[in-house]
Amino acid sequence: MEETEIGSRIRAPIGVIMGHVDSGKTSLLDKVRKTAVQAREAKGITQHIGASFFPRETIEEVGRAIHQGKLSLKIPGVLMVDTPGHAAFMNLRSRGASVADIAIVVVDLTSGFQAQTYESIQTLKRRKVPFVIAANKVDRLPGWKSNKDTPFVKSYESQNVTAKAALDSKIYEIMGELGTLGYESDRYDKVKNFTKKVGIIPTSASSGEGISDLFLVISGLTQQFLMAKLETTQKPGKGVILEVKEEQGMGTTIDVILYDGTLKEKDTIVIGTRNGAISTKMRAMFLPKPLDEMRDPKDKFQKVKIVHAASGIKITGSGLTDAMAGAPLYVSVTKDDEDKYKQLINEELAEFQIKTDKEGIVVRADTLGSLEALVGMIKEKGIPIKSADVGDVSKKDVIDAVITSRSNPEHGVILCFNVKISDDAEEYANIEGVEVFKNNVVYNLLDSYLEWLEEKLTKQRKEEEGILKKPTKIKLIPEYVFRKNKPAVVGVEVLSGELEPHDLLLNEQNKRVGSIQQIRHNNDPVKKATKGMQVAISVRGPTIGRQIQADEILYVDLRQRIALKYISESSHKLTEDEKQTLKDLELIKKRAGLTYWPFANN
């Protein structure tokens, strides 16, 4: 990589763009960057925090239609921090706001203020960060005729009465909402004093209308009111960790916003980790190119020897594996500096610790920021978490889930956000019937688990009411092996009981061999197969010829308490075949060493 050196006497202001999910935050930035970061996000939704540097020349060029070449910005540009809009990412938005000099709150004109709009403004209010409103999707208003990449005022003048009235009505609604939050506001071109009123700038990320206005207002406000704050120092750098990532060929890296001072190659930095503050030497620093996005760059990062605030920077070095997103970063020059910063960081780390329970679900995510967001959502639902960590799912994670499932099946699951599961872990999960929920949209991930959980709890309620799973035995039909694995698909005959999807299959050595994914009868999916029926089943986990044989007899593994209920009070509900299957299961358990089954844990 080509090595460069950058610096400036006046640093770039740090802007943060906030708002509700799908309001168009990343799309607005993409329009200026001429990138497609938003399109590459899962379902078009920002899942991670990122940063882009918008150089002075780009801002001047974007706004040329307004200032006619007469504008000369004194700031070197704007560093924009792009934050996820969903409620789960409140912690990430707080981080973005904590280093921000100014903010853009994006409001979808077609939807108005939404939950995260209020949340974003409250965050900015607490941190005393000035902001403007980008009233986005103006092109979707009734009667609006789009004018590509046109300044808002010029586009507004060309609209008919209906379109103007529709926009004016939406602007008044936003002004009313801001009024309830204690802010006076108006459309930006009517505001005479931005220290007293919040400017509302109509925009369209699709047509480009109003975007030149937005960036000129942001630049003008920082240049007019924040220049004293933007003076850089030559002191050792201070920053905040936005994300911790594994990068191919680089190992663990940290994405950092440097908000004060200077970072130099080989500096000693003090950072917060899950195990407390540590000091480490930086190995290398990398910058995204101007207008490129840290979390999803189009081009390779530039290697730099020195960087001045304000910048978004990627750092490599030793000891970064346990670094915590949201934790501070300081450059230490002396041992006294190191001790002082370690104490300061340790005091701050307490609020970012992820607390786990003795028993609960297993959670894995690709970054600490994502992990914290997901954990926060799970905790809000009152769901216990046994293990929460960054990285792919291992067999040990599945073993933890299996152990939990023995006593609390509803919590013996794994939630995976944007990570992989190893082949041996997936095979073991399938055999043991551990549900592994995978999704790259965080709230969809939790929703899928909650839906499954409701089904599980409904089934448990039925068991408590005496509607019990019946002792079930099946025989594989060797001439009907349709697929040997992934999943195995085979014809079976139900010899007793009732076969259902998600049933765990047990062989005569008391070893679970797989879980039923689907049952089909006469080529149609069915929810249940009863005695005498011949059906095709798909089974996750085994390979026919290895874990199970094509003519084998298998059983549905009964939970301990169900077997106990049948033996103690409900045997009259069983047919003779089902009673025999229960005796067969008891013999299988005894041969496996569970002498007092069903009174022993299984």
Tracing tokens 């009123």 back to the chain, one arrives at 197
The answer to whether the beta carbons of residues 328 and 351 sit under 8 Å apart is: no
pLDDT digit string (tens) for 265-285? Answer: 889 999 988 788 999 999 999
310 preceded by a cis bond (ω within 30 of 0): yes
3-class secondary-structure state, position 576: helix
3-class secondary-structure state, position 75: coil
- Phi first, then psi, for residue 174 (nearest 5°) are -65, -40
Is the pLDDT at 298 greater than 70, yes or no?
no
**Counting beta carbons within 10 angstroms of the beta carbon of residue 586, is it exposed (0 to 12), middle (13 to 18) or buried (19 or more)?**
middle
**Counting beta carbons within 10 angstroms of the beta carbon of residue 501, is it exposed (0 to 12), middle (13 to 18) or buried (19 or more)?**
middle
Q: State how far the Cα of 261 lies from the Cα of 150, in Å rounded to an integer.
A: 38
Name residue 515's amino acid. Answer: S
Q: State how far the Cα of 191 lies from the Cα of 188, in Å rounded to an integer.
A: 5
Tracing tokens 């960590």 back to the chain, one arrives at 389
pLDDT digit string (tens) for 535-580? Answer: 999 998 889 998 899 899 999 988 767 777 777 777 788 889 988 9
Q: Print burial letters for 50-73: b (CB count within 10 Å at least 16), e (below 16).
A: bbbbbebebbbebbeeeeeeebeb
The answer to whether the beta carbons of residues 377 and 365 sit under 8 Å apart is: no
**What pLDDT score was predicted for residue 87?**
39
pLDDT digit string (tens) for 41-65? Answer: 334 333 345 677 888 888 888 777 7
Computed over every residue of the chain, the mean pLDDT equals 82
- In this prediction, residues 497-505 reach a mean pLDDT of 91
The answer to whether the beta carbons of residues 350 and 276 sit under 8 Å apart is: no
Tracing tokens 């912690």 back to the chain, one arrives at 91
**What pTM, to 2 d.p., does this model score?**
0.62
Residue 503, Cβ neighbours under 10 Å: how many? 24
- Distance, CA of 494 to chain centre: 43
Q: Residue 584 is inside which H or E element, if any?
A: helix 576-591
3-class secondary-structure state, position 130: coil
The 3-state secondary structure of 515-559 reads EEEEEEECCEEECCEECCCEEEEEEECCCECCCECCCCEEEECCC
Predicted confidence band at 463 (pLDDT cuts at 50, 70, 90)? Answer: low
**What pLDDT score was predicted for residue 299?**
52
Predicted confidence band at 209 (pLDDT cuts at 50, 70, 90)? Answer: very high
Angle formed by the axes of helices 90-98 and 115-127, nearest 10°: 30
User: Could you give the C-alpha distances from 534 to 235, 496, 524, in angstroms and in order?
Assistant: 78, 12, 13
**What pLDDT score was predicted for residue 2?**
38
- The token duo for 136 is 């986005």
Predicted confidence band at 292 (pLDDT cuts at 50, 70, 90)? Answer: low
pLDDT digit string (tens) for 17-31? Answer: 888 766 667 777 777
Q: State how far the Cα of 413 lies from the Cα of 397, in Å rounded to an integer.
A: 10
50 bridge partner residues: 82
Look at 350-354, 396-400, 433-437, 477-481 and tell me which has the smallest mean pLDDT: 350-354
- The token duo for 396 is 């040990």
Is the pLDDT at 396 greater than 90, yes or no?
yes
User: Could you give the C-alpha distances from 369 to 178, 242, 453, in angstroms and in order?
Assistant: 30, 7, 25
Is the pLDDT at 38 greater than 60, yes or no?
no
All structural domains of the chain, each given as residue ranges with its CATH number in brackets, are 3-225 (3.40.50.300), 238-352 (2.40.30.10), 361-464 (3.40.50.10050), 473-591 (2.40.30.10)
Q: State how far the Cα of 470 lies from the Cα of 467, in Å rounded to an integer.
A: 9
Q: State how far the Cα of 198 lies from the Cα of 204, in Å rounded to an integer.
A: 19
Bridge pairing between strands 504-506 and 553-556:
antiparallel
- The token duo for 29 is 């930035």
